[in-house]
Amino acid sequence: LFLEAALRDALSDNQFTLYYQPQVDLASGRLIGLEALLRWQHPQFGNIPPSRFIPIAEGCGLITDIGEWVLREACRQNRAWMDAGIAVTPVAVNVSAIQLHHGNLQPAVEAALASSGLPPSLLELEVTESLFIDASPRTLEQMSALRLLGISFSLDDFGTGYSSLKYLKQFPIDKLKIDQSFVRDLFEDDDDLAIADAIVSMGRRLRLKVIAEGIEDAQQLALLSEIGCEFGQGFFFALPMSADELVHWRATRE
Residues in the site for ligand G, rule: CB under 6 A? 21, 37-38, 49-51, 54, 70, 94-96, 156-157, 180, 213-216, 234-235, 240
In the bound complex, what is the minimum distance in angstroms from residue 53's beta carbon to Na ion?
17
Cα–Cα distance between 6 and 48 in angstroms, integer?
A: 11
Please select the residue that binds Mn ion; options are 156, 179, 192, 230, rule is CB under 5 A.
156
The enclosing H or E element of 93 equals strand 91-94
203 versus 214: smaller Cβ distance to ligand G: 214
Q: Which residues, including other chains, have CB under 8 Å from residue 195's CB and lie 6 or more apart?
A: 159, 182
Nearer to ligand G, 54 or 122 (CB): 54
CA distance 64 to 58: 8
Q: Which is nearer to ligand G, 59 or 83 (CB)?
A: 59
Q: How far apart are CA 135 and CA 147, in angstroms?
A: 17
When binding is defined by CB under 5 A, the residue of 126, 174, 216, 245 that contacts Mn ion is 126
Which does residue 62 touch among Na ion, ligand G, Mn ion, none (CB within 5 to 8 A, set by kind)?
none
Residue nearest to Na ion (CB): 157
With beta carbons less than 8 A apart as the criterion, state whether 195 and 167 touch.
no
Angle between helices 2-12 and 63-83 (to 10 degrees): 30
In angstroms, the CA 60 to CA 214 distance is: 30
96 binds, among Mn ion, Na ion, ligand G, none (CB under 5 to 8 A by kind): ligand G
Closest to Mn ion by CB, 8 vs 130, is: 130
